[in-house]
Amino acid sequence: MKPIIKKNAAIPVLLAFFVMGFCDIVGFSTSYIKEDFQLSEAMAGFIPSMVFIWFLFLSVPAALMMNRIGRKKTVQISNIATFAGLLLPFISYSFISCLIAFMLIGIGNTILQVSLNPLLTNVVKGDKITSSITAGQVIKAVSSFVGPFVAMFAVTVLGKWQFLFPIFALVTLMSYLLLASTEIEQEPLETETRPGAVLEAFGLLKDPTILLFFLGIFFVVGVDVGTNTASTKLLIERCGFAVEKAAFGASVYFICRTVGAFLGTFLLARVDEIKYLRINIIFAAISLLHLFVAKNSALIYTGIGGIGFFCASVFSILFSQALKARPEKANEISGFMITAIFGGAVIPPLMGIMTQAIGNQNGSVIIIGLCMAYLIFCSWKAGRK
């Protein structure tokens, strides 16, 4: 499609952040799929892995591909993969089709996470870049927040929760068409890929500071995906909620994360990043401890919301600290740090195994707690010479 929109090119790029949030439907979708196909906790725990494992394998290759074909084309490839994944469960609903669908959504989301922020710098310049990236993250958080409500609408009005997939597929198609019709300045491309570029990126782990923040991102994403997944299950187990009602727990998490991210954009411009990180991690840990004993929905919502709110800015702080540690390797670090999002593939299966072992959802809370313990260590280690 020939580009026809020349002004306000940032708008379709920012709207693509809404598509980025679609990967978070895997949290509450896991409860629906578990119930529909009578899965064990351990088996259900592997469903989020189908989304997040691709960050390990594809982040660096996607960055290299972006250097060859350009940022806009790379974003469009992600839209195609996401669109295909969202249509599949609606066309053929089975456990296998769901796994394949979330694989495609994960592949699309990995490529999108790698390419969208760089594309935003093509249309936003100077001191507006940071605020625009933050705005994009808020849009992503809003997308995550509305997911459970779309599922509830699909169940109550359309009759099946799977109807949320074509709704999101339509939004993805709109994002593709809007971006295709927008003229965006092309960045310089590489004519060839350096031999050993992938190994060079992973070689950054030899730097203790980069390793510290890499693992920090790994575990904060584990907390994020883990809390999103566990929120619904806690309400089902302790309050006897139906899946449709329990999915509201994920919305509480995401709206608190949205508020926390929005507030963080203002506070981080005025306070020390490391102090802000340490304070938020401590309160997030207190919120998690609260979930061990919470027995009614109000208390569970409080704990879930607290984790979402206080962890909202942790990813961006750790990411920026890694960039500041090795500014001469900014491009390599940007692509490599996205790889750490595969923590979302590792933590949920461990939660499922632990929950099955001890017989209740405190198993999930324990695994999230171990992730939080590392984040406390990371926050106190950060900033020290």
CATH code for position 301 = 1.20.1250.20
* Predicted pLDDT of residue 199: 66
What pLDDT shows up at residue 283?
96
The model's pLDDT over 190-209, given as tens digits with 9 standing for 90+, comes to 666 555 556 666 677 788 88
Examine the pLDDT at 5 and tell me if it is beyond 50: no
- Assess whether pLDDT exceeds 90 at residue 225: no
Determine the pLDDT at residue 6: 47
251 or 78: whose pLDDT is higher?
78
Predicted pLDDT at 170 = 94
Mean pLDDT value across residues 252-278: 85
Higher pLDDT, 327 or 306: 306
Chain mean pLDDT for the chain: 84
What local confidence, expressed as pLDDT, does residue 201 receive? 64
pLDDT at 323: 72
Look at residue 190 and tell me if it is in a domain. no
Higher pLDDT, 183 or 85: 85
pLDDT band at 178 (very low <50, low <70, confident <90, very high): very high
Reply yes or no on whether the pLDDT at 338 is more than 90.
Answer: no
Contacts with 258 (C-beta within 8 Å, 6 or more apart), sequence order: 138, 141, 142, 144, 145, 312
- Whether pLDDT at 385 is above 60: no
CA-nearest of 155, 47, 183, 30 to 103 is 47
Q: What is the pLDDT of residues 76-90, one digit of tens each?
A: 999 999 999 999 998
Residues 99-147: tens digit of each pLDDT = 999 999 999 999 998 888 788 878 876 556 656 666 777 888 888 878 8
Residue-level pLDDT at 294? 85
The pLDDT score that the predictor gives to residue 315 is 85
Task: Tell me if 252 sits within 8 A of 298, measured CB to CB.
Answer: no
Query: Is 161 part of a structural domain of the chain?
Result: yes
- Establish if 4 belongs to a structural domain: no
Q: In the prediction, which pLDDT does 153 show?
A: 86
Does any domain span residue 61? yes
Is 270 buried (19+), middle (13-18) or exposed (0-12) by CB count in 10 A?
Answer: exposed
For residue 162, being part of any structural domain is answered with yes
Q: Is residue 260 part of a domain?
A: yes
- 374 in any annotated domain: yes
Question: What's the number of domains the chain is made of?
Answer: 1
Q: Give the pLDDT of residue 331.
A: 63
In a domain, 292, yes or no: yes
pLDDT at 30: 85
**What is the predicted pLDDT for the residue at 301?**
93
Six-digit token pair at 353?
């195994």
Range of the domain at 137: 10-184+196-381
